[in-house]
Structure 1
């Protein structure tokens, strides 16, 4: 099991490697009751070491978790690859044995009970048209029985609910349009080479990033007949696009308890 806390500065505290070891936690407890006050999660951690090391270990524990609490921002608690946005609210010490051992009970507050597993798939430009499987023959006819298409792929998303996403579209392309199970995600814009665009369903933003490092807001250039922020369904997805550009899809698979 891989468990660690990463604060907003990118500092990580491995909670399953000496001198820290989680002995009890409630991250496998789920709760579907909605609340505006947040959700508490509690973990009990053993901390130990020789006298001089023990002091350093306790100080490191404090420094890493205190950064977010003092600044009122969320870090991330990772369990088996999924993360929960949270910050420490309490840190209670017990089982004190001089300067060689202590147990810390850390209470974390999460604004949403959402364990997020990010999964990504890249869709590359398809310059060559491909024939539908099963219609080609070993010898040639004067005409082709196969329907030629490009920009067609499938993706099986193993999840139970629709997911928020980030769609990163790479230039060059004009007015990129992507169909997912027939639903269109479209932006009326031009991307030059080395430019890209990000559609973020959580932040509800459409942003173009140019080669000189500047960014442009394309919110008003998004498709209006169909929302470009429509969440992606689970199961087998059929993805269609012109094939003359590439893009990445990052899905945020959310669940109420950490993944087993």
Structure 2
């Protein structure tokens, strides 16, 4: 296994993240007998994203949310004048149904609750409920403070990201706040948490403008692993600086994990692979 040291710098109150890979420190393959035992590895493990399969994805989609609900794939897209909620055929990438937001709204994350889908908008603090699978607006809009970025469900609450290091627990019925999760990486706040998915008791979160997914323990907020999507970024060869990874969907019925990005032509089914480095 090639071992890398992944150095993560977080800029205090600004919450900005800078990510780069440093060359590994050379080590003797067989230490001399007098050498002390090497110290235990520190930092957060970084895992490979092994590609299982590839599916077509709309390269014009500014992906903000991705999920499976009742066995069906749904996606939300952003940008004022181009935001929509869509039901998508996995095998072909074809949009089977679409509900457009008004031109003044910037669509963001989506979450599934029972037989409905909830959607966020970016800076307007307005959200909507949609019937499934028809994607018809139902009920009055709901409201929330701060920005809307990503959303998922842990089975009891909705979880909302807003670009800060804090995730909010939300009551699905009244969309009122139930609690908060302060997310940290190696003891430091981790900001720019974006699209979310709940998998195997952990929260997966795209970290905006990086090639990594953070795996978060919801009880402590601690990031206990990072998934490296940089090989997938290289494969799609996206030239637009906004074409970052953003879209995580888990098909629980078949234990399948999918990722994509804004303007990506490919939706990847992945498995979390071996450890390839450490984030310090």
TM-score, normalization by structure 1: 0.29
Select the structure of larger CA radius of gyration. 1
Answer 1 or 2: which has greater strand percent: 2
Greater fraction helix? 1
